[in-house]
Amino acid sequence: MANLTRLPMPIQESYDWQYEGACRDVDVEQFFSPERERGAKRDAREAAAKSYCARCPVVDACLQHALSVREPYGVWGGMTVREREELMAGRSVGETAA
């Protein structure tokens, strides 16, 4: 069973920022990888998703949400799962663990 204690309270104000997202009317599949997607195809999809984030007025709120709940899937706040993990670990994005 999932640990839901890190999620914000289920009140509307906790999620209002999502109504302002540049991704609001975009197919959700743009931001989440199909199970077997790899390589150039995945890179291209993630770059396209990040292009929405680059012009999004709530990108910071989105990233903070993803970091605070440790979102394990998708592009949130202009970052992939791996990039968020690296950020949380205190490494520069693209830096490998020692």
In whole angstroms, what is the distance from residue 50 CA to residue 18 CA?
16
In whole angstroms, what is the distance from residue 62 CA to residue 76 CA?
6
Cα distances (Å, whole numbers) of residue 61 to 16, 18, 40: 10, 9, 29
User: Is 53 flagged in the annotation as binding?
Assistant: yes
Could you identify the residue written with the tokens 């791996």?
Answer: 82
User: Is 29 flagged in the annotation as binding?
Assistant: no
User: Is 77 flagged in the annotation as binding?
Assistant: no
Binding residues for [4Fe-4S] cluster: 23, 53, 56, 62
Binding residues: 23, 53, 56, 62
